[in-house]
Amino acid sequence: MNYEPTQIFFIVFSGIILMLLMSGFIIVMVLLHRQQQLRNRQKMENLKAEYDKTMLKVEKEIQDQTLSFIGQELHDNLGQILSLAKLTLNSPDEENYSEGKRLINHAIKEVRSLSKRLNLDWVKEVKLEDFIRGELQKIEKSGLCKTQFETSAQSLALDQDKKLVLIRVIQECLNNIIKHADPSMVYISLDQKDDRLSVTVKDDGNGFDVEDSSKGMGLHNLKSRIETIGGKLTVSSIIGIGTEIKLLLPFE
């Protein structure tokens, strides 16, 4: 088949145009892919920066709270034990001497216990269940209200960072209850199912309007912290009935 020169020119020209279009399409796709990679990389860097910022803030808050607790224990507990030991040892009675010795040994144990809390190593050692029980016992001892704790979790294996954030979020939930809820009962449950941990903090106090922007910042901060460790926080509250906060955290 013989082609006219104009036909040959048209075929060659069309082929060149098609090649240019394909080349342009490939270049555009490569550029879009690189831009997406850069955006993903930037997003990951932002997430990591937010995570690091959250961990630093949580660690500082827990350290500050620990120092406050230690100061109070030194004043109210250890100081009282040592004062009793001094009064007891001032008596020449041998029975009092034995009691004074016992009080001093007790004071030494208290000092060792407090020294462990000066850093965050206790977070590695403490079980989440034991920490929650301890926080609820503090509330009961204060006479504020009754408490209840239930768990179906067995041997939770949480890394230190996740446990640290969970501990701080639970503390903050309980602090909000103490400050604002005026409850007669505080209830916490731990539920472990397959690859997910569920923590529920509930009270029968005043409740509040979750849509009220003036009270939303604290909840936003709690949600942000849980999200940095891959979790989710939901809140439901009815004025005059109480509040329920649920924390969902997947296991890796």
pLDDT at 150: 94
DSSP structure class, residue 179: I
Query: Which pLDDT band holds residue 7 (cuts at 50, 70, 90)?
Result: confident
Percentage of residues in the chain having pLDDT higher than 70: 94
Name the average pLDDT for the chain. Answer: 83
Whether the predicted pLDDT of 18 surpasses 80: yes
Q: Does residue 54 have a pLDDT over 90?
A: no
Residue 63 has pLDDT above 60, yes or no: yes
**Is pLDDT of 133 > 80?**
yes
Residue 52: is its pLDDT beyond 90?
no
Position 213 scores a pLDDT of 66
pLDDT tens digits, residue range 183-204? Answer: 999 999 999 887 889 999 999 9
User: For residue 66, what pLDDT is reported?
Assistant: 75
Q: Please determine, for residue 47, whether its predicted confidence score (pLDDT) is greater than 90.
A: no
Lowest mean pLDDT across 11-20, 60-69, 100-109, 160-169: 60-69
Instruction: Please name the helix (run of DSSP H) or strand (run of DSSP E) that holds residue 22, with its range, or none.
Output: helix 5-73
Q: What is the per-residue pLDDT for 216?
A: 62
Rounded Cα–Cα distance for residues 188 and 92 (Å) = 51
Given a cut of 70, whether residue 246 has pLDDT beyond it is yes
Sign of CA dihedral 202, 206, 209, 214: negative
Find out whether 196 and 248 touch, Cβ atoms under 8 Å: yes
| Angstrom distance (rounded) from CA 211 to CA 117 | 38
How far is the C-alpha of 74 from the C-alpha of 80, rounded, in Å?
Answer: 9
Helix (H) or strand (E) run with residue 1 in it: none
| pLDDT for the residue 198 | 92
**CA 192 to each of CA 22, 159, 164, 198: distance values in angstroms, whole numbers, following the listed order:** 54, 16, 18, 6
| pLDDT score at 79 | 81
The number of helix segments (H) and strand segments (E) in the chain equals 7, 5
Residue 153: the pLDDT is 76
Domain limits, CATH 3.30.565.10, in the chain: 121-250
Read off the pLDDT of each residue in 233-252 and give the average, rounded to a whole number: 90
What residue ranges in 194-241 does DSSP mark as E strands?
196-203, 232-238
Mean per-residue pLDDT for 202-218?
Answer: 81
pLDDT beyond 70 at 252: no
Residue 55 and residue 161: Cα distance in Å, rounded? 7
Fold of 121-250: Heat Shock Protein 90 (3.30.565)
